[in-house]
Amino acid sequence: MFQIARDATGRWQATVLFKTDKKQFACEQQTPLFREQLLYAVMPSDGGADRQQLVCMTPEGQRCWASGKDDLFGLGPYLATPEGLLFLLDDVGTLTLARADREGYRRLARHPVMRKQGRDAWGPLVLVNGRLFLRDSHHLYCLEVGTRIR
């Protein structure tokens, strides 16, 4: 974690605040999300006991929770909605809808969109006008999820 600020001369400077290792907080493919003063990432496959789980950490480096062994996501991807929901896709195309905050991770729904036959389903998710776009290395899927998700 680093902080960027101007120094006394007005030049931008980066200061390292702390470092984590891949067993505390890291990601392999997707960029971590920063939402409501919390960081979220799917741990890498060599991330220790929490590998491939969604984890949450404060900007100060305190781990809050991991999603658990029943909720593994491979290489991601994941996307947060303005309403505070998360869409997470695993490597074979199973889509999970969850709510995550400081208190923890709660799975709301799960569906095997690609019938567990998705191949390399790692591409970023896109949510536009109530439609969620997801893909694997062979197919593009469009799901109507609504314009206001609650």
pLDDT, greater one: 122 or 95: 95
Does residue 6 sit within a domain? no
Does residue 1 sit within a domain? no
Query: Which pLDDT band, with edges at 50, 70 and 90, does 32 fall under?
Result: very high
Please say whether the beta carbons of 11 and 5 come within 8 A. Answer: no
Does residue 133 sit within a domain? yes
Confidence check: pLDDT of 33 > 80: yes
Does residue 81 sit within a domain? yes
Q: Looking at residue 147, what is its pLDDT?
A: 59
Confidence check: pLDDT of 80 > 60: yes
Q: Looking at residue 150, what is its pLDDT?
A: 52
Please say whether the beta carbons of 93 and 112 come within 8 A. Answer: yes
For residue 7 the two structure tokens come to: 């120094």
Q: Looking at residue 83, what is its pLDDT?
A: 85
- 112-116, Cβ contacts within 8 angstroms, sequence gap of 24 or more: 113/89, 113/141, 113/143, 114/139, 114/141, 116/92
Does residue 54 sit within a domain? yes
pLDDT tens readout for residues 116-126: 889 999 899 99
Q: Into how many domains does the chain fold?
A: 1
Does residue 116 sit within a domain? yes
The CATH number of whichever domain residue 99 belongs to comes to 2.40.128.630
Q: Looking at residue 76, what is its pLDDT?
A: 81
Domain containing residue 30: 21-144
